[in-house]
Amino acid sequence: MNLEFSEDQKFVQQTARDYLQAHAGLEVCRAVLESDRPYDPDLWKGVAEMGWLGAAVPEEYGGAGLGYLELVLIAQEVGRALAPIPFSSSVYLATEALLLFGSDEQRREHLPGLCSGERIGTFALFEGVGDPEPAELAVELRGGRLHGEKLPVLDGDVAGLAVVLAKDGAGTSLVLADLEGEGVERSGLRSFDPSRSQARIAFDGAPAQLLGSAGQGAAQAERLLDRAAVMMGFEQVGGAERALELTKEFTMGRYAFGRPVASFQVLKHRMADTYARNTIALSNGYYAAWALSNDNDELPLAACSVRVAASDAFRLASEEMVQMYGGVGFTWEYDCHLFYRRARLLGLALGSADAWREKLIRRLEAREAA
């Protein structure tokens, strides 16, 4: 097994880094956070023109026809930049759901718009606070129409298309819903990270189109979340790496008793611990990306591993960033809180790290029993 990326793949990553450094500095994230805008439309248009939104989508559906290895490297750079765009919702979830479960007709209808950025997609999974439980769904599909409420829905206030997990008779189904059509009412929610918007979506007889097989929604959602966890894991790793880099730069330039505070043992040890967490997460990410790109049987376990490791790594890196910046780390003017907010948001976007630990244990037990 070769876990080294090719030169072409590394070039894709470097191109993404160069573009985001030029167009998506932390001041762009802060500008969205401090405004009423849900995302940065200019940046969204730019990444669409770069072909990132359809990196893993075949050319026949309007994509770039690259692959998942290229996509995870782009995601890592999106994470480094704290890009305030609905990238994860539209690419990891809505686009991926159509690739996995959509008919050829559905793909041809929806994927070109998602790849061009003309339309934004999202996944409506949660129905309140806490980790999702498909058996407790209240949103229901009756006669081809949706009834009920989903919240919070990441980027739900700007998305035009939603993949919705809904109760369908005795089971559950995944369906497509036009959020700009009839029977849909949306309202923004106050988010811990205002640079990534959240919404409440109420369905009152909204038309819905079955995605995949009826009654298989829970299994489909689990498969979709596994794949999204790998891609989001790289985004989290990118954020964690950048947080550590900035912390090192700041502590190297801040002096106490005539020497950089970074030279003191207590800070060196804490940064070493953070670096180790980041490296473990990236190692898990490499294996998971290989499993994703090959649709390997190890993907369910690898997805759990990278989800837990990346969530823990980004959380630790952002917390240590605040602490090691000292008194100014808690202030609005410094960027530490931008990383902390994004770490907390992404750490819950697909379900908490604790939920994924439980999932990993269940899957290991099932494999052992088999």
Predicted pLDDT at 370: 86
Question: Mean pLDDT throughout 184-205?
Answer: 96
| Residue 3 pLDDT class (50, 70, 90 cuts) | low
Predicted pLDDT at 130: 85
Q: In the predicted model, is pLDDT for residue 256 greater than 60?
A: yes
Q: 40 with 20: CB under 8 angstroms?
A: no
Domains of the chain, start order:
7-118 (1.10.540.10), 122-215 (2.40.110.10), 218-369 (1.20.140.10)
Question: Mean pLDDT throughout 246-268?
Answer: 93
Which has the closest alpha carbon to 334: 344, 346, 347, 324?
Answer: 324
Which three-class secondary structure state does DSSP give residue 119?
A: coil
Predicted pLDDT at 135: 74
Q: What percent of the chain has pLDDT over 90?
A: 93
Which has the closest alpha carbon to 201: 260, 138, 264, 256?
Answer: 138
Rounded CA separation 197/18 (Å): 26
pLDDT digits (tens, 9 = 90+) for 284-302: 999 999 999 999 999 999 9
**CA geometry: angle at 163 spanning 158 and 165, to 5°?**
125
Predicted pLDDT at 134: 76
Q: How far, CA to CA in Å, does 337 sit from each of 146, 272, 315?
A: 38, 21, 12
Predicted pLDDT at 39: 97
pLDDT digits (tens, 9 = 90+) for 118-141: 999 999 999 998 888 877 899 999
The secondary structure of residue 6, as a DSSP letter, is P
Predicted pLDDT at 219: 96
Give the DSSP letter string of 285-296: HHHHHHHHHHT-
Rounded CA separation 337/339 (Å): 5
**pTM, to two decimals:** 0.96
Question: Mean pLDDT throughout 86-109?
Answer: 98
Q: 230 with 69: CB under 8 angstroms?
A: no
pLDDT digits (tens, 9 = 90+) for 7-53: 999 999 999 999 999 999 999 999 999 999 999 999 999 999 999 99
pLDDT digits (tens, 9 = 90+) for 55-86: 999 999 999 999 999 999 999 999 999 999 99
Following CA atoms 260, 261, 265, 267 in sequence, which dihedral angle do they give, to the nearest 10 degrees? -130
Predicted pLDDT at 180: 96
Question: Mean pLDDT throughout 345-361?
Answer: 97
pLDDT digits (tens, 9 = 90+) for 199-217: 999 999 999 999 999 999 9
Rounded CA separation 238/75 (Å): 8
Q: What percent of the chain has pLDDT over 70?
A: 99
Lookup result for tokens 């999974």: 125
pLDDT digits (tens, 9 = 90+) for 326-338: 989 999 999 999 9
Rounded CA separation 47/220 (Å): 28
* Phi and psi, residue 176, nearest 5°: -100, 135
| Residue 1 pLDDT class (50, 70, 90 cuts) | low
Residue 210 Cα to chain centre, angstroms: 24
